[in-house]
A and B are shown apart, each in its own frame.
Chain A
């Protein structure tokens, strides 16, 4: 049970980091980034290929680029960078000239095409078989701590990174930058008429969100030691998004609650406790059907989620005393 709980803890932290990243892009900036999972996958793949040694020898069963044998934590930094770069590239192509509904379609197409390309090109990341035997960080501690202890160590490490992510998101959350992003989300022409440049702000939030997503991908592959196209199907983005919408868009704690309910309570726990029904794979398929229905129900009955976006009151933003106020008085 301890093994299972530590695994769930790691998954939850990884999912949460990704959800906060997507919430920045979707909740704050209003970008329907249906290709979000690409940035997480980019981080995971890059983590794997820079942590693995050169292709051949013990890893001759798989083909991949780089193989730099970088020591930890460098692969994690590379993962974050890769997520950011992929997000930036996606944003440069998609964000400027297209309307939001077209953007959503283009993002979705990117996600599908990328999955097909990576599956077909064996020389890149070993095609549809994916990469395995990715070195785990702190692996030398496995012998002293045992597998269970190591799992909890990794869960703790992931939680610390997750807290760092929360700190970043909270810091940005109350800033003028975030407010300008939300303004551009609500009315782009109005924001531009006030001197805000939405194109730059959106690329920035895309880059930061991409970095956090890449980091989450790196943390995940460092834990499970393997990564393949099956792990990052485009539908994964919708699962993250369902958690955000259920919990409360633009509310960090809402995203926390929604992610726990959808990704853990619903997806992980049901897989463990509910019996498999019908032909193999039917239960998993039904989970996705229920996620879709859940999304519709939330939008219909509680569009602002369980914990709606918190109203920022004037009293929290206004100083009690300031030279300007004194002058006015």
Chain B
């Protein structure tokens, strides 16, 4: 819940939770990476998910995004139970994510990367490719125009024609986030978006996160930099040993004993 250090403006108080994950367990063989973690995220809010290595943060993100199947528990998104849905179905409902290792389609240009996301499942249907209807053409034109605007917004228009494989680490992060925006997400899951990014780009990515949130998009961000978490998050959730051990404002969480214990353990 927003507290004394919330980054939200007064007119953007959180509404009902867009995401409710309850009692999530994720197991990899005999290892329980997430052990009954629960989390709710209202819109618009930037929620930081922190914790030591091996706390289960990325596994929880994967359970919400559908990349890992939850052994038990329930993920409700926008009032719908999406626990059993595969990742592409969740993405179509508005859960978009980035990965620890930036996922950019290396054999596609940056502009094409954005188009893949923007055209969505309807724009990537075989029937459309075969028939090339005027409606599809119009949709493609609109998506291309939107992609151009997103590139400008992220100040990466100059690399629009670069292949994914030609980008720097920071550029890959920006493209990955920009790509998610092309799908008009309701919930954005960012897995360590600042890793390997130059300091000036860290600031920019942070600014983009705040700007995205102001468009009524909820963001759950896994990040190790407390400076970043403190500057962009409205709320912080702390995980250790697969469980949520604290949840509150950045200031209150930092004061808590549990966080110190988790990091020192």
**Which A residues have a C-beta under 8 Å from some C-beta of B?**
171-172, 175-180, 182-183, 185-187, 189-197, 201, 204, 208, 250, 309, 311-314, 317-319, 322-325, 328
Contacts and interface: CB of A to CB of B under 8 A. Distances in A.
Contact of B104 (A172, A187, A195, A328): A187
Interface in B107-162: 107-109, 111-113, 115-117, 119-121, 123-126, 128-130, 132, 136, 140-142, 144-149, 160-161
Contacts of B147: 318
A187 B105 contact: yes
B162 to A, nearest CB: 9
B116 A179 contact: yes
Interface residues of B, number: 51
A189 B109 contact: no
A325 B144 CA distance: 10
A146 B248 CA distance: 89
Contacts of A194: 88, 91, 96, 116-117, 179-180, 183
B67 A322 contact: no
Contact of B129 (A177, A195, A250, A319): A177
Given A186-B105, A193-B65, A328-B149, A180 B124 contact: yes
Contacts of B108: 179, 182-183, 186
B122 to A, nearest CB: 9
Contacts of B87: 189, 192-193
The residue among B67, B88, B128 with the most chain A CB atoms within 10 A of its own CB is B88
Given A189-B99, A194-B179, 16 more contacts: A178-B129, A179-B108, A186-B105, A187-B106, A189-B87, A192-B86, A192-B91, A193-B96, A193-B99, A194-B91, A194-B117, A197-B88, A208-B126, A317-B140, A322-B141, A322-B142
B179 A189 contact: no
B169 to A, nearest CB: 16
A172 B132 CA distance: 9
Interface string B197-217: 000000000000000000000
